[in-house]
Amino acid sequence: MEELRSNFIHDIIDEDLAQNPELKIHTRFPPEPNGYLHIGSAKAIWINAMTAKKYGGQFNLRYDDTNPSKEDNEYVESIYEDLMWLGCEPTGGVFYGSDYFDKCYEYAIKLIKDGKAYVCDLNAEQMREYRGTLTVPGKESPYRNRSVEENRDLFERMKNGEFPDGSKTLREKIDMASSNMNMRDPAIYRIVHISHHRQGNKWCIYPLYDYAHPIQDALEGISHSLCSIEFENHRPLYEWVIDNIGFEKKPKQREFARLNVTHTVMSKRYLRKLVEGKLVDGWDDPRMPTLCGLRRRGYTPASIFDFVARAGVAKAYSVVDYELLEHCIREELNATAERRIAILKPIKVVITNYPEDKVEYFDLPNNPSNPDAGTRKVAFTRELYIDADDFAEVPPPKFFRMKPDGEVRLMGAYIVKCNEIVKDENGNISEIRCTADLETGNGMPTDGRKVKGTIHWLSEKFAKDTTVMLYDFLFDIENTADIPEDKTYDDYLNKASVTKIENAKVEPALENANAGERFQFVRTGYFVKDTKHENTFNRIVGLKDSFPKAK
């Protein structure tokens, strides 16, 4: 894993260490198990895990399972799987927010006793009305001045299940006139009569995130709670909870900008809608921005973290071009992926001057940029396949591939000349007949003539059928944050986001490729053997890199 480059978060930590050299750096990643992790999650994981690693500290995984209505063990397992795939082992341990329910309740009683929390009977709509606006102060709840004894009794009865959902909340008593809306007596407990995925029916009151999270951080000894920028305005509340409960060791919350990527939606709610509506092939559909989707698409942990590192760690809002992610995986696979031949649009070629029963083998490099990768033998026979895109009956200017009466190099093998085009009754080309310069082998003509074009090919006899999936952006709008108010994400779903090619032709060696194994299909792009459907290859990214090298 690439080491985290210095940034403003590390400047903060360096200052803290200068003041307290004994400080042990301890970070955490606290996902809510209500969906699958996505590329944006990778940034939070990378920052927290690599910060802990840089300073010789520890990194926790803590499931924020305080909302039982949305949580599922499926998501718990997927989150851990994604973390381990990324190589970010939680060195400090794996925890659950629900592990701290007893402590959260105990601290809530303390706040009540100290006159800093009260039970409120306002419903959600009334609370919004009382809260005020950015320019109008809030109004105090009529229940704000209940006695300590009454609040304790009501809170105990809330816990015992005497009241229906939404009928009461426990609120912190802070300041209804605060300029920070989060400090206007926020609710810290709500009544939810739903079984919890780990706690069962033990509880029917659940703490809210802004209350539970700082408690969890403090109890785990987190030194720096590093989170995305939307929590910046919540920081005073985070610190209020820590101070008023009375923790001696105080974790420090600091925020960074979220990772926004072009042509991508990060909303778990919307991604779940796509899955449940069967608009995609599950959470791991290769078009999805989920980590399992990117994994199935063929992206590697190294390429994802390289992308996050290049995008940078800052506080300012920005949208990162998806082409940078493609550049990162393309750069990695150019150096590591073995080359194979695949013909996506096969058209038959007959070498008329080549013996019908002859089989010849040519050595082709597994990776031209890595001689240690060696070579492989590819069979050559009289009847071949080439890609239809490599032939033009009426060629445009400067077309150096196969054309009538033109010569072209078959990659690593003979130079051939197109002599005849055979068409079926519908006028479609059924085969192309050529003659080979059998004196050339894979060398140059002895008479000095120049042959500019080179195309890939496969023996018809030995080629194997496969299915190839070509993926494009899931959304055809660049910045999904710019969608007009009268439109939704649905309006910008890319109807051409996937193309399925059946009966593509590939080298025999690809027939035994392992699921998840990556290759460069020469002159075509980078592909991965699908992990879900047999005999299928998913395009990871094309060969052409349009991302500016200076970035």
Q: What is the pLDDT of residues 65-79, one digit of tens each?
A: 999 988 888 999 999
Report the C-alpha gap between 115 and 122 in whole angstroms.
Answer: 19
239 is catalytic: no
How many C-beta atoms lie closer than 10 Å to residue 292's C-beta?
A: 21
Separation in Å, CA 310 to CA 1, 5, 78, 373, 479: 14, 10, 26, 29, 19
32 is catalytic: yes
3-class secondary structure per residue, 417-444: EEEEEEECCCCCEEEEEEEEECCCCCCC
User: Using DSSP, how many helices (H) and how many strands (E) does the chain show?
Assistant: 12, 27
DSSP state at residue 513? P
Check: CB of residue 352 under 8 Å from CB of residue 293.
no
Q: Burial level of 513, CB count in 10 A (0-12/13-18/19+)?
A: buried
Check: CB of residue 130 under 8 Å from CB of residue 124.
no
State the 10-residue block means of pLDDT for the chain, 551 residues long: 72 96 97 95 96 96 92 93 97 97 98 98 96 96 98 98 97 98 98 94 96 98 96 97 96 95 94 95 96 98 96 91 96 97 98 97 94 95 97 95 96 96 94 94 79 96 98 94 92 96 95 96 97 96 73 40
Beta bridge partners of 493: 475
What three-state secondary structure class fits 46?
A: helix
* Token reading at 217: 């951080």
168 is catalytic: no
Residue 3 pLDDT: 54
* Token reading at 418: 């197109």
Report the C-alpha gap between 385 and 493 in whole angstroms.
Answer: 36
Report the C-alpha gap between 551 and 545 in whole angstroms.
Answer: 13
Residue 449 pLDDT: 84
CATH of domain 8-256: 3.40.50.620
Q: Could you tell me which residues come within 8 angstroms of residue 536 by beta carbon, excluding any fewer than 6 positions away?
A: 466, 467, 468, 469, 529, 530
Residue 4 pLDDT: 58
This prediction's pTM: 0.92
Report the C-alpha gap between 301 and 295 in whole angstroms.
Answer: 8
Name the phi and psi angles at 518, rounded to 5: -110, 145
Domain ranges of the chain: 8-256, 268-338+466-542, 342-456
Q: Greatest CA separation found in the chain?
A: 105
Q: Could you tell me which residues come within 8 angstroms of residue 190 by beta carbon, excluding any fewer than 6 positions away?
A: 165, 166, 169, 205, 206, 208
The residue length of the chain stands at 551
Selected catalytic residue, list 28, 62, 268, 295: 268
Report the C-alpha gap between 282 and 183 in whole angstroms.
Answer: 40
Residue type, 339: R
Report the C-alpha gap between 263 and 331 in whole angstroms.
Answer: 21
Residue 550 pLDDT: 42
How many C-beta atoms lie closer than 10 Å to residue 57's C-beta?
A: 19
Handedness of CA 460, 461, 462, 464 (dihedral sign): positive
Report the C-alpha gap between 207 and 515 in whole angstroms.
Answer: 43
Check: CB of residue 188 under 8 Å from CB of residue 245.
no
Q: Could you tell me which residues come within 8 angstroms of residue 31 by beta carbon, excluding any fewer than 6 positions away?
A: 37, 41, 61, 63, 64, 79
Residue 546 pLDDT: 64
* Token reading at 272: 């779940």
CATH of domain 342-456: 2.40.240.10
What three-state secondary structure class fits 120?
A: strand
Q: What is the pLDDT of residues 411-429, one digit of tens each?
A: 999 999 999 999 999 999 9
Q: Which CATH architecture has domain 268-338+466-542?
A: Orthogonal Bundle (1.10)
Selected catalytic residue, list 139, 258, 345, 464: 258
Between β-strands 319-320 and 260-261, what pairing exists: parallel, antiparallel or unpaired? parallel
Q: What is the pLDDT of residues 236-255, one digit of tens each?
A: 999 999 999 999 999 999 99
Check: CB of residue 465 under 8 Å from CB of residue 503.
yes
Handedness of CA 16, 21, 23, 24 (dihedral sign): positive
Q: Could you tell me which residues come within 8 angstroms of residue 488 by beta carbon, excluding any fewer than 6 positions away?
A: none
Cα angle 359, 362, 365; round to 5 = 150
Compute and round to an integer the Cα radius of gyration of the chain: 31
Check: CB of residue 280 under 8 Å from CB of residue 29.
no
